[in-house]
Amino acid sequence: MEIKRNESTELRPEGARVIDAPVVQINVPEFLELIKDESTWKNSDRTAITVFKTDGMRIVLIALHKDAVIEEHATNAIISLQVMNGKIGFDAEGKKFILKKGEIITLHRNLPHKVLAIRKSVILLTVAAFKD
């Protein structure tokens, strides 16, 4: 298997971060420190970093300031969203869920959903089984 690394960007010029390999260790606190030190976090209501990416799965660490909204959308993949800290509202299937640290919610393909940060929050999004 080929080891894949991220591309350098203006925001993250150091590049060379492994995002796919036979085994990938993900240090969530380290990534959280990295993204919370970036201008995007300081100048926007959110920031995110993809910590694993392969054809069948993607894992994204997302930091949200209080009142940040991820507007309603749907994806052609199964997702899970774990609250690492903070408190969020999650709307799906005509229901409103409140999730706090340690809680996880899952969602099947093509279901519209929306996220609201009730408090400053960090969520770990896993996107699996994409369908074209």
Question: Any bridge partners for residue 30, and if so which?
Answer: none
Q: What is the pTM of this model?
A: 0.88
What is the band of 3 on the pLDDT scale with cuts at 50, 70, 90? confident
User: What is the C-alpha radius of gyration for the chain, rounded to an integer number of angstroms?
Assistant: 15
User: What range does the domain containing 10 cover?
Assistant: 4-128
Under the banding of pLDDT at 50, 70 and 90, the label for residue 10 is low
**Domains: count for the chain:** 1
Distance CA 89, CA 81 (A): 12
The CATH number that applies at residue 71 is 2.60.120.10
49-99 pLDDT, tens digit each = 999 999 899 999 999 999 999 999 999 999 999 999 999 999 999 999 999
